[in-house]
């Protein structure tokens, strides 16, 4: 199963997409893809099959987002809390990731043709080394693509992300590259895993659960949040369109106008930006080192 799929829409769905596109379209949609195990239970199959169906739904949803004109998507693929699940399930999810990232590298030409940039946001040091290496390679080969961005939150929680950002800031103060007076929201924001992305305009959680599960807590202060009853593997284009219509009502009611997205190009010309540039350089070196490490 490819990451890039052909359209699955019939003519009525295509017409509905066209109508919804006449309104404001979110530039960044985040998904909490919840309900894979309940789906597996309902269909009487193994949990890992529920997650595999969840992956198929992810690829289908990405295609719908492209057709709608949404340029950036972030999905919660594996939370740090998920490491507390049974060994069998965690191993099954890591194996799925291994296969899918290997598949992604095998179809790199298709990804490059479609201009898709893959970013994995999360604490990579917690996952098996061979999966880290595949992820690092996927990020490196697609890093300059800009037609569409897919952020996969993998081994991620917001509390971990904010903790790591605070550590980066503390390191800067300890090494005297930063002053205590330099610390503000922008600096913390620039040290987050997600610093390259605009805040999500719309967050969709499936499966009827009304909670945020430690996902993008810093980033969603002005985000419209849509809870759908459907289990993730059963999510349809109609559910996506309902969520986007909700976003359109939400922005109209609040008179929110999508902020113009400036490309986040950092100029390292003062103490603070020079420090942030160094942090990014070290992160890039970490990714490059992983991609070059021989895995046993
Ligand atoms: C939540 O459902 C889903 C997950 C923990 C995993 C989601 C992962 C995918 C859809 C595929 C990921 C893609 C890659 C590349 C690895 P749940 O397990 O909490 O189900 P439940 O709420 O019914 O218990
Ligand atoms: Mg769940």
Q: What is the pLDDT of residues 202-225, one digit of tens each?
A: 999 999 999 999 999 999 999 999
Task: Report whether pLDDT(288) > 80.
Answer: yes
Q: Residue 295's pLDDT band (boundaries 50, 70, 90)?
A: confident
Residues 6+ positions from 148 with CB-CB distance below 8 Å: 62, 65, 66, 71, 72, 73, 114, 115, 116, 117
- State the chain's maximal CA–CA distance in angstroms: 61
Separation of 55 CA from ligand 1 center, angstroms? Answer: 8
pLDDT at residue 173, as a whole number: 97
* Candidates 3.40.50.300, 3.40.190.10, 2.60.40.1930, 3.40.1180.10; CATH matching 25-157+197-259: 3.40.1180.10
| Contact between residue 247 and residue 26 where contact means Cβ atoms under 8 Å apart | yes
Residues 6+ positions from 244 with CB-CB distance below 8 Å: 20, 23, 25, 26, 68, 202
Q: Residue 135's pLDDT band (boundaries 50, 70, 90)?
A: very high
pLDDT at residue 14, as a whole number: 97
Could you read off the pLDDT of 171-181 as tens digits, one per residue? 999 999 999 99
Nearest-atom index, ligand 1, CA of 57: 10
What residues flank ion ligand 2 with Cβ within 5 A?
Answer: 34
Could you read off the pLDDT of 70-83 as tens digits, one per residue? 999 999 999 999 99
Pairing of strands 148-156, 116-121: parallel
Residue nearest atom 8 in ligand 1 by C-alpha distance: 77
Test site for ligand 1: of 34, 111, 215, 231, most ligand atoms within 8 A of the Cβ: 34
Secondary structure of 13-64 as H, E, C letters = HHHHHHHHCCCCCCCEEEEECCCHHHHHHHHCCCHHHHHHHHHHHHHHHHHH
List the strands of the sheet with 224-227, edge to edge. Answer: 116-121, 148-156, 72-79, 28-32, 202-205, 224-227
Q: Which residues line ligand 1 (CB under 6 A)?
A: 33-38, 51, 54-55, 58, 77-78, 82, 96-97, 100, 207
- Residue ranges covered by each domain of the chain: 25-157+197-259
pLDDT at residue 260, as a whole number: 47
* Mean pLDDT for the stretch of residues 160-177: 97
The pTM score is: 0.95
Separation of 33 CA from ligand 2 center, angstroms? Answer: 8
Could you read off the pLDDT of 243-273 as tens digits, one per residue? 999 999 998 766 655 554 455 667 777 899 9
Work out the mean pLDDT of the chain and round it to a whole number.
94
pLDDT at residue 127, as a whole number: 97
* More confident: 5 or 35: 35
- Which range has the worst mean pLDDT, 142-151, 226-235, 238-247, 251-260? 251-260
Task: Report whether pLDDT(123) > 50.
Answer: yes
Nearest-atom index, ligand 1, CA of 207: 22
Q: Residue 294's pLDDT band (boundaries 50, 70, 90)?
A: confident
Task: Report whether pLDDT(282) > 80.
Answer: yes
Separation of 290 CA from ligand 1 center, angstroms? Answer: 25
* Mean pLDDT for the stretch of residues 87-99: 97
Test site for ligand 1: of 78, 157, 209, most ligand atoms within 8 A of the Cβ: 78
Separation of 78 CA from ligand 1 center, angstroms? Answer: 7
pLDDT at residue 105, as a whole number: 95
Separation of 71 CA from ligand 1 center, angstroms? Answer: 23
Separation of 34 CA from ligand 2 center, angstroms? Answer: 5
Nearest-atom index, ligand 1, CA of 79: 5
Nearest-atom index, ligand 1, CA of 40: 23
């Amino acid at each position: 199963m490819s990451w890039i799929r052909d359209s699955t829409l019939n003519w009525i769905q295509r017409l509905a997409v066209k109508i919804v596109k006449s309104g404001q379209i979110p530039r960044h949609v985040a998904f909490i893809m919840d309900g894979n195990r309940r789906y597996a239970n309902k269909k009487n199959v193994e949990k890992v099959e529920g997650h595999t169906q969840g992956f198929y739904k992810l690829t289908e949803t990405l295609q719908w987002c492209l057709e709608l004109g949404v340029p950036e998507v972030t999905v919660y693929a594996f939370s740090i809390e998920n490491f507390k699940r049974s060994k069998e399930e965690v191993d099954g999810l890591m194996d799925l990731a291994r296969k899918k990232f290997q598949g992604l590298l095998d179809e790199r030409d298709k990804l490059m043709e479609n201009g898709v940039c893959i970013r994995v946001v999360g604490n990579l040091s917690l996952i098996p080394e061979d999966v880290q290496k595949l992820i690092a390679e996927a990020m490196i080969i697609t890093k300059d693509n800009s037609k569409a961005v897919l952020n996969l939150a993998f081994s991620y929680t917001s509390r971990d992300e904010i903790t790591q950002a605070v550590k980066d800031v503390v390191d800067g103060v300890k090494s005297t590259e930063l002053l205590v007076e330099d610390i503000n929201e922008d600096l913390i924001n620039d040290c987050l895993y997600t610093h390259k992305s605009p805040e999500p305009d719309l967050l969709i959680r499936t499966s009827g659960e009304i909670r945020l599960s430690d996902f993008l807590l810093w980033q969603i202060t002005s985000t419209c949040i849509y809870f759908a009853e459907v289990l993730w593997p059963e999510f349809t284009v109609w559910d996506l369109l309902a969520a986007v219509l909700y976003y359109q009502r939400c922005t109209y009611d609040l008179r929110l106008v999508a902020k113009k997205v400036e490309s986040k190009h950092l100029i390292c010309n003062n103490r603070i930006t020079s420090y942030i540039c160094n942090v990014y350089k070290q992160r890039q070196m970490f990714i490059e080192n992983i991609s070059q490490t021989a895995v046993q």
